[in-house]
Amino acid sequence: MPWNDLRAQIKRTGQRNATLMALMPAETSAQISNATNGIEPPRSFVSIKGSKHGQLKQVVPEYRRLKNRYELLWDQTTPEGYIKLCSVLQKYIDQGISVNTSYNPQHYEDEKIPMSSMLQHLLMCYKYGLKQLYYFNTYDGQGEYIVEASGETKQQELEILDDQDDCESCVI
């Protein structure tokens, strides 16, 4: 491709009303398509997503093959790695990425997230050139598949998934 010619033309004439790359909104689109949330780490191996059509259980892609490679959102002790990842992606994406930060109170003294940590991450976002922060999420157990009413734990449910033939949500 003649990238140098294109660069020269844009310097000469500018570029208007053009988006070269944008990320789709994650949560709503994920619910509609029964998919995980784009670039965000999954909250758990199996999540429950609710919509006006009811509740859907979402299994991470290729769970059986990749289960040991996933880094789950609530296992992270800080959102700094995700902020750095998004800042690199932001350089190549025209529209602003709606970056969410997520905090698990279990990783903090007295299970209280210090305001200083959140402010530090806010400043880090500006330092690395992110265009916007969206939500400061905290773990409350909602939507994560941890314990069923029958008392089965998340791990037991996932073992059941391992033993079953492929289901629709496992082979999207």
37-88 pLDDT tens trace: 778 888 888 887 776 777 777 788 888 899 899 889 999 999 999 999 999 9
Look at residue 156 and tell me if it is in a domain.
yes
**Maximum mean pLDDT: which of 37-41, 87-91, 118-122:** 118-122
Look at residue 5 and tell me if it is in a domain.
no
Q: Structurally, how many domains does the chain consist of?
A: 2
- Rounded to 5°, the CA angle 73-79-84 comes to 115
Distance CA 131, CA 50 (A): 29
Look at residue 40 and tell me if it is in a domain.
yes
Does residue 147 share a domain with residue 63? yes
Q: How far is CA 162 from each of CA 57, 93, 156, rounded to the nearest angstrom? A: 16, 37, 10
Q: Which residues constitute the domain of residue 165?
A: 21-72+143-172
Look at residue 7 and tell me if it is in a domain.
no
How does the average pLDDT of the chain come out, rounded? 79
Look at residue 148 and tell me if it is in a domain.
yes
Asked whether 154 and 46 are in contact (CB, 8 A), the reply is yes
User: Which single residue is written with the structure tokens 């210090």?
Assistant: 114
Look at residue 130 and tell me if it is in a domain.
yes
**Global pTM value:** 0.69
